[in-house]
Structure 1
Amino acid sequence: MSAVYGYLRVSGTDQVLDLQRDALAKAGCDRVWEEVASGAKNDRPELIDLLDHLRPGDTLIVWRLDRLGRSLTHLIETVEDLQSRGVSFKSLTETIDTSSPGGMLVFQIFGALAQFERALIQERTVAGLAAARARGRIGGQPKRIDAAKARQIQRMIEDGTPKSEIAAVLGIGRATLYRHLAAPSS
């Protein structure tokens, strides 16, 4: 026997759940999970419990999409997981219903847009790195030990200065000094 379950969430205790409660009650939910947690959190216990309760043929209803997912990517992954398990998804505010062909189309468009956004971000990152390399910038942290410091380290080692003192004088960590000394070019 299929069931209709609802999930509602607010980010803080100062927010009221009444609007969402009323909408989910009107939608005919058999049971509703309520949560006070940031949407950015991965470990929302009520959502996890709800997802464990869902069976093929069930329907999950939320008042708005942002109540379920912390990002478009997370939301799409969650709904795709529901679909693979035979569970329908409805968002009341956006009027999305994955049990209908039109609802699935809308959701697949969201998925395509998220994939497009990821590709654009990757493309901009690659272009930015290439432009930085063209200007002589290599990625990562700047070197803590330049050529002048390397020469000073060599002189201090030859003079018998303790390594902890060398690190303190040069303002570098001992681990940085030891990595420099262990490097093949030292």
Structure 2
Amino acid sequence: MATHTGHLIGYARVFTEDQEAQLQLDALAEAGCSRIFTDKASGRATDRPELAAALDYLRPGDTLCVWKLDRFARSLIDLVTMVDTLAARGIGFTVLTGALASIDPNTPDGHLMLQVVGAMAEFERSLIKDRTRTGLEAARAQGRTGGRPTVMDADKLAAAQARRAKGESVMAIAKALGVSRATPCRALADAE
């Protein structure tokens, strides 16, 4: 096992702009991270500028610390590649919570566990994705569709088009129809 005498550097990620990373940030700070990088991006996003900045910032002897494994890697291949790249640079890797919190992925045994846990997480995501797809297909077969109900029915769309043809502003149309400003904008654009 390599001894990491450098800094503990944290990485946090939330899926959307609406989510707060405070739980992760608090845990990383409590673990002793001297610097924390935070991305707001889905796990499938390939552009994670703060992760790139964290990887660039790390020096031999440092350790990259993440709150949970799913906040770091998108797939098993991605996980193993990044951890191997860190190890080759003399940089450690640690996970604070979840399946890898109690093992050291910088040891041969820990590296094996990392691969096993990563494979199980990827398998679970695949099962969830498959069940969701199957459920949506079954709902469509029964005539149900997901999502929010449409606000602009055919009558409201016709009224919006007539008002727009008379030169009314989108804001005035929205107010007259009792909908948000974005609703007639979208509906009129889609109709054209």
CA–CA separation in structure 1 for the residues paired with 2:93 and 2:186: 56
Q: 1:177 aligns with which of 178, 184, 188?
A: 184
CA–CA separation in structure 2 for the residues paired with 1:139 and 1:89: 44
CA–CA separation in structure 1 for the residues paired with 2:161 and 2:103: 70
Paired AA for residue 83 in structure 1: D
Q: Percent identity?
A: 27
Q: What's the RMSD between the two structures over aligned residues?
A: 4.4
User: Following TM superposition, by how much is the alpha carbon of 1:74 offset from its aligned partner in structure 2, in angstroms?
Assistant: 3.8
Residue aligning to 1:26: none
Q: 1:48 aligns with which of 51, 54, 60?
A: 54
User: Following TM superposition, by how much is the alpha carbon of 1:98 offset from its aligned partner in structure 2, in angstroms?
Assistant: 3.2
Residue aligning to 1:94: 102
- 1:38-77 aligned at under 5 Å gives the runs 41-42=38-39, 43=50, 48=54, 52-54=58-60, 60=63, 68-75=65-72, 77=78
User: Following TM superposition, by how much is the alpha carbon of 1:35 offset from its aligned partner in structure 2, in angstroms?
Assistant: 3.5
CA–CA separation in structure 2 for the residues paired with 1:128 and 1:94: 36
Paired AA for residue 177 in structure 2: L
> In the TM superposition, what whole-angstrom CA distance separates every residue of 1:11-46 from its partner, at most 9, and x where no partner exists?
449x995xx6xxxxxxxxxxxx63386x9x3459xx
Decide whether aligned partners of structure 1 residues 180 and 49 sit closer, same or farther in structure 2, where only a CA change above 3 A counts: closer
Residue aligning to 1:28: none
> In the TM superposition, what whole-angstrom CA distance separates every residue of 1:131-182 from its partner, at most 9, and x where no partner exists?
3323433344432210232344456568x48344332111134553344345
> In the TM superposition, what whole-angstrom CA distance separates every residue of 1:56-107 from its partner, at most 9, and x where no partner exists?
xx584x8xxxxx223323455566423135147476972435332x222211
CA–CA separation in structure 2 for the residues paired with 1:5 and 1:181: 61
**Normalization by structure 2: what TM-score?**
0.54
Residue aligning to 1:81: 82
The answer (yes or no) to whether the contact 1:163–1:174 under 8 Å persists in 2 is no
Q: Which runs of 5+ in 1 are unaligned?
A: 21-32, 63-67
Paired AA for residue 83 in structure 2: L
User: Comparing 69-78 with 120-129, which one deviates more in the overlay?
Assistant: 69-78
Larger radius of gyration: 1
**Normalization by structure 1: what TM-score?**
0.55
Q: Which runs of 5+ in 2 are unaligned?
A: 11-23, 40-49, 96-100
Decide whether aligned partners of structure 1 residues 50 and 166 sit closer, same or farther in structure 2, where only a CA change above 3 A counts: closer
1:114 matches 2:115? no
Give aligned pairs, total.
154
1:137 matches 2:144? yes
The answer (yes or no) to whether the contact 1:3–1:59 under 8 Å persists in 2 is no
Decide whether aligned partners of structure 1 residues 173 and 16 sit closer, same or farther in structure 2, where only a CA change above 3 A counts: closer
Paired AA for residue 117 in structure 1: E
Paired AA for residue 168 in structure 2: P
